[in-house]
Structure 1
């Protein structure tokens, strides 16, 4: 059987980009049980309530929902258990320092398979205020209108 190649997206946390200013991103491996991998291969997961906590110099992923595998028996996993992240010691120390100093939080952005291995993209993020959210929405709307006007003008529709 040929080995998987490339990146296969499983779940994405679009709400995180709306609620937070993303400052830095990291790619981390996940320690999973067999039934979790099978459930992920079926494309089922949710990152909405997920967050990362650094405890005793280890990174842990909390609140990510990977549903039970339908054909699993007594070997099935708990859907919202905490999962260990595989990060380099220097990366963990750097992240922990920045979170403690600046009051940042760590949120998962995407869950995917990269060459057959489960990976999660995590980000150091700062929470947005409501006016920040309104401002970014208005900015995105203005850019969209500008692009549409440019497109109409190029087509000669004026």
Structure 2
């Protein structure tokens, strides 16, 4: 049993309710992953990207879009900066976490199409999917209100 488990057993806290329970559930939820196939020379590699929290994403995606860059314009941020700054411990390529130096090299050899696919996947798990989930929750809440 870990020290934390022993301390929690010795000093049980009352069960959380309401917003506190929702906040703890959000903090402890499993982060989403998404797979992208990328080309390296004549080989296809599977890149698995794991979501980071919203604050980290906002910090990474805060770089302004470059004028004239269509990918930046679509996603509202400098996509090269997003790729360069994404934490390597949240990236797996063919079952291995790249080192920061390896990730830098990967970014240099990755095709433009694959770069777009990777950034789009990152945008989806951090912005697109949560927006869809929020819209569904709002719609459900509205239906419940109409029912009384």
Scaled by the length of structure 1, the TM-score of the pair is 0.23
**TM-score normalized with structure 2 length:** 0.24
Q: Comparing both structures, which one devotes a greater share of its residues to strand?
A: 1
